[in-house]
Structure 1
Amino acid sequence: MSAPTVKRERVRKPEGQWLVDGTAPLNHDEELKQASEIWDVKQRVIDTYSKEGFDSIAREDLYPRFKWLGLYTQRKQNLGGEYTGEDNSVLEDKFFMMRVRFDGGRCTTAQARAVGEISRDYARSTVDLTDRQNIQLHWVRVEDVPAIWEKLEAHGLNTWDACGDVPRVVLGSPVAGIAKDEIIDATPAIERIQEIFTDAEFQNLPRKFKSAISGNARQDVVHEINDLAFIGVEHPELGPGFECYVGGGLSTNPMLAQSLGAFVTLEQVPEVWANVVRIFRDYGYRRLRNRARLKFLVAEWGVEKFRQILEEDYLGYALPDGPHAPNNLVDRDHIGVHEQKDGNVYIGVKPTLGHMSGEQLIAIADLAEHFGVSQLRFTPFKELLLLGVDPADVDKLKLELDQLGLSSEPSEFRRGLISCTGLEYCKLAHVTTKSRAIELADELEERFGDLDSPISISLNGCPNACARHHVSDIGLKGQMVAGPDGEKVEGFQVHLGGTIGEGANFGRKLRGHKVLSSELTEYVTRVVQHYVDQRVDGETFRDWVQRAEEDDLR
């Protein structure tokens, strides 16, 4: 008789958690981060690389340390999606994308003009508003980087920690302090975080850390998909403050943030923010980069344990329980004309896909100042706001903004359209996105005019979800697919009916359903036509998707 089989418990591999496994690096990225102070590379750019050119840049600085400076090499032109996945030496051009950081989306007209001039003089007049409230420039040469930094710093701007394994830009309500529907102004908290985010203790995280703080009832910072978010709420005894969410994020493993159930005062927000970052630093998974986001730790621990460790081991005190903020499902953006607290108004306009030229940004700054406006704001929906407009000037200002290509009354198609940069500049992309998106918007407007129901359409060049395809009405994830003759061509996987807020979900996927890029416009117009034909009174697109027959979605 054979001996019984002894079941051996599988030994779990170390995850690279500093407070569990020690700080010895378990991959090359971690080795590089420990080998040299990140900020030393800034001086090397100024002293050496800008003088000796791109070919003088040490590879370990180019990847990954330049990211801490807000710099990525951009994709070499005319490389199709079939090249994606190749080594950087194949994909990279000798030019950079530079990301200028605008925490809370706050920007003065003087700052906008300065960035416009930098774009015109050093970046082939490229200006891309991002859904992280930043501005991205392209075609930047390393030789010009010190001059750009000098001009940015002269206007109170920088590119530090705009990329890299660090706390990225803090999203904030673009109408903080002025909006009529504001619960609490989060500006002081964001300003305090701006003072500390570059501290040495926050400069080596397992991966990027995205956070958002808004006291606006519109919930205008997509808090559900950030690592950490604070959303305005009214406590019945303690007054206005914030509900805290942790563990959100999209990409290849999308997860929605979960509420800690705690109430956080305005004064406590920076301290809670810093200690959540410290938990991520100490316990985040560093061995595998595709598991190195906070969402994986929250998913394993659960929010109850996360809150306990935050309070007992980091804060040193318990946070009071707090109410859950009611979900705002629609009108999270700020397009159009809106009253402020002070009797003035703000105007929100939408550049198509958030794309402008340097000259256009300069012209906007000049126009705003002509009407007595000094404060601009960028939003997580790639919009531009002009604050403090005299109501008597609204009609004339709207007309002049229209002439600059900035509409305060865009169609629902153009209003809800978002796209990543795609193959034009990104080394991770599989497909072209921007030109496809513009073609799509033009066709939808011609076919349907202005749809009387909101509809969000998102085009992503890869699975990383920079344009949030999981939570769009029509989300399109770029990938190489089989063409008519079996060859690999550009195409999209389709997600339908995704949403955040109450009933949040990542969209309906149809088994085996892929759309060729060349057929994208025809496909989307066909689905929208089915919705228009079949909807009942007041039915939104995402509600229709949930009940639609599969044939009507293909």
Structure 2
Amino acid sequence: MSIRISDNVGAAARRDIIDLEKKISNFVSGAMTDEHFRKFRLTRGVYGQRQPGVQMIRIKLPHGRITADQLIRIADVSDRYATGNLHATTRQDIQLHFVKLADSPQLWADLEDASVTLKEACGNTVRNVTGSARAGIDPEEPFDITPYAYTIFDYFLRNPICQDMGRKFKISVSSSEQDSAYGYMHDVGLVARVQDGKRGFKVMLGGGLGAQPFAAQTAFDFLEEDRIIPFIEGVIRVFDRYGERTKRHKARMKYLLNDLGLDEMLRRIEEETPALKNKTFEVPGLALDVRPDRPEVSGFKLETSDAKLSTWFRTNVFEQKQKGWYAVQLRVLLGDMSSDTARALAGIVKKYAADDIRVTVNQGYLLRFIRPEDLTAVFHELDALGLAEPGFDTTADITTCPGTDTCNLAISSSYGITRALETMMREEFPDLVFNDDIKIKISGCMNGCGQHSVANIGYHGSSLKNGAYVLPALQVLLGGGFNGKGEGLIADKVIKIPTKRGPDSLRLLLRDYEANAFDGEYYSDYYARQGKNYFYTLLKPLADLKTVVDSDYIDWDHTEQFVTEVGVGECASVILDLVATTLTEAQEKLNWSNEALAESRWADAIYHAYNTFITGAKAALMSRDVPTNTQHGIVSDFDKHFVGESGFHEAEGDFKTRVFSINKQEPSEAFARQFIADAIEFLTNVQAYRERQIELEGAPELQELTQAQDS
């Protein structure tokens, strides 16, 4: 073994790291196809970049929670293997860019030594569980959601039910009715509530962004805390079984819910109850740094003649629910922080704050439990690092994705337009650092990593054709985010303009709001009152392509003429025997099932065996050129096309009854052993059938496979 793995790394992570190294070797040698390897590495946080030959590494930080030593370790790893930059994301992860593929196993091992993982940070899995950064110190919260966010992350990490879904799955946990974790745009969004003295959550289902954003539907106004994890497990099992798998753009949970309807979705979730590993699940406490109140310094007022310090105190500092303690929020331009700055920040945390840093959903950081008498010193030390800019999470603090700097799917520069807009606001609208109503979010494309669809004012990268030429453009979206009633809204697409006119568009929108909004009127309420056509008319002159100039054909941060280079993604174009590849996957899943059985993990063993049935049946159908899609459809089609086939089943419906017994039985040892024995027999028969087919028909023609990346 060439990689160094410390004794601090757990057995499961150790095996994952060694497996990644082996798979990289197989891929480089040609023993593993591009497509198979792509699926594998994405679920290990290794993601292809726009630049060939290098990877983006996504570090999975549940709830964005990190210690000072972990921050130092990430900084050290970035220096050693990446560019010395740490990019905070809207999902409270940290990303490193320009990493060599061969370095990724050792990078992972170095992080796991500090209890930081890459596992399931990308791919068709349960992604990072996000949560309100203020959790535990939020004056508005009914209780601390930190243990719940972490436990949800831990419960589904390496869980068999979510290792090979049709698409990614996102969960958020908000600490109060303000829904600061944006639950309404998640597959499952939770909002903490107390009812009749009991803890629980409002539960929302089926939200999502992308080209067709959906607001989530409310499944429960209140669900008791011990039922939350079993309910989410039921949701994932239904999504895994019935979710779209062929049309990738329709493969998110929001489309399944839209097709089934909420009542039918909830009925199918309830059907999964017998098979659940846990019918109820008590969330254990976490060792959190909660300090006693200091009421003598509650309501602290900073007295200073330093204008920047005074503004920073007003916009970036708040008193915690623990009286006499204060939290400091760091505004980080573009979410980017150098490794040297990160190490210095860790030193400030160790000196002045609790060892519990939170990455925020708007790409900043939050420090907790700071004494008011230390705030001035903290400001000056942060200011020396460039981390004391006022206006955290205000209009002036734009959320953005990296765009064309590193992403395959981006159309135009997100970073460039973000810098231009923030500069314009700083010079022309300095008081916007005090406005926490209007949120501006930018993405490099329609997929929405910058969350533009839930912004009051949003932009996403696009392009416009003008005669024989193409120029970079921005799609303007308005009216998303939260209104005055606290309702989460999806923004409307209003108009598309050349990207160089972005500052002009924002200037127009802000001046219009200043001139015509009612006192105290939320921006999204103002948008709703005026209507989409009003804003289309307001911005229409900026869309006039008869007035473009040469500079409009050049994107922000660029000097060359704009060329559209998008849609390629991590395309895998490879020549392979698809049936053989699928049978190999089925055998891997059977191996995992036997391993779980040996470790007495009955529910896990059963689900791996279920996936063996599904993948084996898929291979058999592919051998007859029968198209496959949902897992439920695969089972039904196998029943129909292979009825009476030697070695399989005698009557139509037998196979379906056998496979779908998974959700009608308790996950007992007896059922696990029988179900796995059935899966072994079935896969053996499929392999034998395929061998007979090749003998009769000859070796299959190798096929070219192209599949876009998972974003």
TM-score above 0.5, yes or no = yes
Which one of the candidate residues 185, 191, 194 is aligned to 1:234? 194
Residue 509 of structure 1 aligns to a residue whose secondary structure is: strand
Structure 2 match to 1:295 = 254
8 Å Cα contact 1:105-1:171 kept in structure 2: yes
CA distance in 1, matches of 2:40, 2:27: 18
Structure 2 match to 1:257 = 216
Residue 396 of structure 1 aligns to a residue whose secondary structure is: helix
Which one of the candidate residues 106, 113, 128 is aligned to 2:87? 128
Question: Mapping of 1:368-407 within 5 angstroms?
Answer: 368-407=349-388
8 Å Cα contact 1:127-1:136 kept in structure 2: yes
Structure 1 match to 2:127 = 168
Instruction: Identify if the C-alpha distance between structure 1 residues 503 and 377 changes in structure 2 by more than 3 Å, giving closer, same or farther.
Output: closer
Structure 2 match to 1:465 = 448
Which one of the candidate residues 176, 183, 188 is aligned to 1:216? 176
Which one of the candidate residues 148, 154, 159 is aligned to 1:195? 154
Residue 278 of structure 1 aligns to a residue whose secondary structure is: helix
Question: Mapping of 1:273-312 within 5 angstroms?
Answer: 273-312=232-271
Instruction: Identify if the C-alpha distance between structure 1 residues 310 and 408 changes in structure 2 by more than 3 Å, giving closer, same or farther.
Output: farther
Instruction: Identify if the C-alpha distance between structure 1 residues 153 and 64 changes in structure 2 by more than 3 Å, giving closer, same or farther.
Output: same
Structure 2 match to 1:243 = 202
Aligned amino acid, residue 196 of structure 1 = Y
Aligned amino acid, residue 250 of structure 2 = R
Residues 1:156 and 2:115 are matched in the alignment: yes
Residues 226-235 or 258-267, more deviating: 258-267
Structure 2 match to 1:146 = 105
Which one of the candidate residues 40, 46, 64 is aligned to 1:71? 46
Structure 1 or 2: larger strand share? Answer: 1
CA distance in 2, matches of 1:55, 1:369: 48
Which one of the candidate residues 24, 29, 44 is aligned to 1:49? 24
Residues 386-395 or 494-503, more deviating: 494-503
Which one of the candidate residues 454, 459, 464 is aligned to 1:476? 459
Structure 1 match to 2:333 = 352
Residue 64 of structure 1 aligns to a residue whose secondary structure is: helix
Q: CA deviation at 1:404?
A: 1.6
Could you state the TM-score of these two structures normalised by the residue count of structure 1?
A: 0.81
List alignment gaps of at least 5 residues for structure 2.
1-12, 281-314, 541-711
Residue 112 of structure 2 aligns to a residue whose secondary structure is: helix
Residues 1:436 and 2:411 are matched in the alignment: no
Structure 1 match to 2:489 = 505
8 Å Cα contact 2:396-2:425 kept in structure 1: no
Instruction: Identify if the C-alpha distance between structure 1 residues 437 and 315 changes in structure 2 by more than 3 Å, giving closer, same or farther.
Output: farther
Instruction: Identify if the C-alpha distance between structure 1 residues 55 and 441 changes in structure 2 by more than 3 Å, giving closer, same or farther.
Output: farther
Q: CA deviation at 1:192?
A: 2.9
CA distance in 1, matches of 2:17, 2:110: 16
CA distance in 2, matches of 1:118, 1:50: 22
8 Å Cα contact 2:330-2:392 kept in structure 1: no
The Cα offsets for residues 406-430 of structure 1, whole Å up to 9 and x where unpaired, read as 2363277665411111111000011
- Tell me how many residue pairs correspond in the alignment: 483
Aligned amino acid, residue 151 of structure 1 = D
CA distance in 2, matches of 1:137, 1:106: 17
Q: CA deviation at 1:167?
A: 0.5
Residues 141-150 or 533-542, more deviating: 533-542
Structure 2 match to 1:94 = 53
CA distance in 2, matches of 1:207, 1:125: 31
Structure 1 match to 2:71 = 112
Structure 1 or 2: larger helix share? Answer: 2
Which one of the candidate residues 418, 423, 426 is aligned to 1:445? 426
Q: CA deviation at 1:503?
A: 4.8
Could you state the TM-score of these two structures normalised by the residue count of structure 2?
A: 0.64
CA distance in 2, matches of 1:536, 1:238: 39
8 Å Cα contact 2:396-2:422 kept in structure 1: no
Residues 179-188 or 371-380, more deviating: 179-188
CA distance in 1, matches of 2:412, 2:46: 22
Which one of the candidate residues 154, 166, 171 is aligned to 1:206? 166
Instruction: Identify if the C-alpha distance between structure 1 residues 425 and 433 changes in structure 2 by more than 3 Å, giving closer, same or farther.
Output: same
CA distance in 1, matches of 2:16, 2:320: 46
Q: CA deviation at 1:500?
A: 4.0
Instruction: Identify if the C-alpha distance between structure 1 residues 422 and 392 changes in structure 2 by more than 3 Å, giving closer, same or farther.
Output: same
CA distance in 1, matches of 2:191, 2:379: 31
CA distance in 2, matches of 1:244, 1:125: 40
CA distance in 2, matches of 1:309, 1:378: 36
Aligned amino acid, residue 487 of structure 1 = Y
Q: CA deviation at 1:355?
A: 1.4
Structure 2 match to 1:531 = 513
8 Å Cα contact 2:188-2:205 kept in structure 1: yes
Residues 239-248 or 179-188, more deviating: 179-188
Identical counterparts, % of pairs: 27
8 Å Cα contact 1:347-1:408 kept in structure 2: no
Structure 1 match to 2:498 = 516
Aligned amino acid, residue 377 of structure 1 = R
8 Å Cα contact 1:53-1:142 kept in structure 2: no
Instruction: Identify if the C-alpha distance between structure 1 residues 415 and 118 changes in structure 2 by more than 3 Å, giving closer, same or farther.
Output: farther
Structure 1 match to 2:402 = 421
Aligned amino acid, residue 477 of structure 2 = H
Residues 1:492 and 2:474 are matched in the alignment: yes
8 Å Cα contact 1:411-1:450 kept in structure 2: no
Residue 263 of structure 1 aligns to a residue whose secondary structure is: strand
Q: CA deviation at 1:490?
A: 0.8
List alignment gaps of at least 5 residues for structure 1.
1-37, 77-92, 320-333
CA distance in 2, matches of 1:337, 1:315: 47
Residues 1:59 and 2:34 are matched in the alignment: yes
Instruction: Identify if the C-alpha distance between structure 1 residues 122 and 49 changes in structure 2 by more than 3 Å, giving closer, same or farther.
Output: same
Residue 193 of structure 2 aligns to a residue whose secondary structure is: strand
Q: Which of structures 1 and 2 has the larger relative contact order (alpha carbons within 8 angstroms, sep 6+)?
A: 1
Q: CA deviation at 1:277?
A: 1.2
8 Å Cα contact 1:413-1:445 kept in structure 2: no
CA distance in 2, matches of 1:477, 1:274: 33
Q: CA deviation at 1:496?
A: 1.4
The Cα offsets for residues 92-123 of structure 1, whole Å up to 9 and x where unpaired, read as x1110000001111101111111111112211
CA distance in 2, matches of 1:182, 1:310: 29
Residues 497-506 or 254-263, more deviating: 497-506
Aligned amino acid, residue 165 of structure 2 = L
CA distance in 2, matches of 1:96, 1:487: 32
